[in-house]
Structure 1
Amino acid sequence: IHSRFSTNTFPSWDRAQPMRVLGHNGEINTLRGNIN
């Protein structure tokens, strides 16, 4: 389900707001680091 959602939404996000995608990736990486 998650893969589907990402695949369908990623292209739109990348074209609409690439900056936000980069920001989200940074936040996700930070959260993962904190959890680990």
Structure 2
Amino acid sequence: MPFMLRDRAFSLGFVVGLSLGAVLDTHHTIRVENGG
């Protein structure tokens, strides 16, 4: 059971981190296009 829980938490953190990275990347690109 703890292994399943840990695996789920890891995959959830991975997805959240990936989404957060994409959002930050998008904001950075928009700022650069608008002249910094």
Q: Normalization by structure 1: what TM-score?
A: 0.53
1:18 alignment counterpart: 4
Gaps in structure 1 of 5+ consecutive residues: 1-14
Computed over aligned residues only, the root mean square deviation of the Cα atoms, in angstroms, reads 1.8
SS at match of 2:19: helix
| Number of equivalenced pairs | 22
Gaps in structure 2 of 5+ consecutive residues: 23-36
| Percent identity for Structure 1 against Structure 2 | 5
**Residue of structure 2 aligned with 1:27, choices 9, 13, 16:** 13
Deviant stretches of 4+, over 3 Å:
none
Structure number with greater CO (CA < 8 Å, separation at least 6) is: 1
